[in-house]
Chain A
């Protein structure tokens, strides 16, 4: 059983404008089981992106440790896939080449890796744009590519950093529904960073509310799946949960 464990994770850095050390993340301890979908929600500046960057290995922790499957995390690695807010697709690679890039690094032959890439593009209905370049795609389509590029590498954990924050509201709802569908089909372990309370509750099994670098509260979400906005928008349980989380976030 692969688990992600954060133990007293902290991050302080020197802020040249404030002229002082700032604590972005303070002694955060969290355990994510295999196949879990955890949302981390909080206002901007609460340290949620810093937290994700440490788990991804983009920045070193100042204290504490990150263990994936009992092993300490050190730097970025393919067992932790990342989906970025800015999509971060390679503009010089076609959609297919972007998705096939992880498998290519793993040393798979062209036929094998393109087969995998096409399967994943099929999953989000983008098989027909495989030969296009990212800049020819809409924002929503680009982020679908971003999601399956990370999935195609078969990571132990998928780290998503406000991935739907830069697409329009309609597209965002569609993407959220697609993500819950993919999660139900494949059960990847997901840590999803967002400032959107509704999104956090809609997607996750567990919502972690972050405030001033600390975990304020963890809330289990037992809403039935499959989840769809048509069903949940007026759902009493969903509204109650969202209200509870919203209150926590606003009190922060």
Chain B
């Protein structure tokens, strides 16, 4: 893409957001909305500035991202081998598919009560929630990815002399990769929502906690600022890391699944 169309894309992305900011400020002023109901733009910006200066934003964000990283990496490390193992056998994958589909949609927030019972409040419970959100979706997608590799490809590799290990590393994993990446993207989306919810209940540091704490002091400007940060962080993660990764694997191989 040439530079000018990048600029155009950015502009198209920003324009509605700018409009929203304008409307927001206009409504607050026109109706004289109390800061205890909803803050104005300036105080949100100030709250943001303060949280950066006193280091609380960094602390909360750091805690949240660390939990996401640990939960996600653990989940990926376990779910990919598991998904491949289940996907190579049609009988096993057919049998387990409903189970994983069920847990994929259940993933996330629903695990919070049981997680706090098992792990107590704090890092363990929240990481468990994230782990679950990623684990089931990635396992399911890996299974699906491996199972959907056309049989002739596996036959071709076998009749070229591929060992089981070669089959795994050269055929099954690359063949399932587009699905795996899609799974990670979906799972992280679940995980991010689950994280914020879990942090409101089960910890004393993190972005979700920052929001919930501010509520106790009627600091609507901190709440809104936190929401903005949560949204922006996800957008950055998704747009700059996950979406390009997904596009790269799927498009380069011409493996866009025709639905």
Question: Do chains A and B stick together as partners?
Answer: yes
Known: A105-B166, A133-B254. A92 touches B159 (CB 8 A): no
Known: A82-B155, A92-B175. A77 touches B150 (CB 8 A): no
User: In the complex, which of the residues A102, A133, A135 contacts B160, with contact meaning CB atoms closer than 8 Å?
Assistant: A102
Q: How far is the CB of B168 from chain A (nearest CB, A)?
A: 13
A side interface size, CB within 8 A: 28
Judge if B26 is at the interface, Cβ distance under 8 Å: no
Interface centre among A75, A78, A134 (most CB of B within 10 A): A78
By the criterion CB–CB under 8 Å, are A57 and B159 in contact?
yes
Judge if B162 is at the interface, Cβ distance under 8 Å: yes
Q: How far is the CB of A177 from chain B (nearest CB, A)?
A: 25
Interface stretch (choices A1-9, A83-91, A183-191, A227-235): A83-91
Q: How far is the CB of A30 from chain B (nearest CB, A)?
A: 20
| Chain A, interface SS category | loop
By the criterion CB–CB under 8 Å, are A133 and B252 in contact?
yes
By the criterion CB–CB under 8 Å, are A76 and B153 in contact?
no
By the criterion CB–CB under 8 Å, are A84 and B152 in contact?
yes
A135 to B253, CA, bound (A): 7
Judge if A56 is at the interface, Cβ distance under 8 Å: yes
Given contacts A88-B150, A91-B254, list 7 more A-B pairs with CB under 8 A: A76-B155, A78-B161, A88-B152, A90-B171, A92-B253, A105-B162, A150-B159
Can you list 27 contacts pairing A with B, beta carbon distance less than 8 Å? A56-B155, A57-B159, A75-B158, A76-B159, A77-B159, A77-B161, A78-B160, A81-B159, A86-B152, A88-B152, A88-B156, A89-B156, A91-B254, A92-B174, A101-B160, A101-B170, A105-B160, A105-B161, A106-B161, A133-B252, A134-B254, A135-B253, A135-B254, A135-B255, A136-B254, A150-B159, A153-B160
Query: B-side interface residues toward A, CB under 8 Å?
Result: 150, 152-153, 155-163, 166, 170-171, 174-175, 177, 252-255
Query: A-side interface residues toward B, CB under 8 Å?
Result: 56-58, 75-78, 80-82, 84, 86, 88-92, 101-102, 105-106, 133-136, 149-150, 153
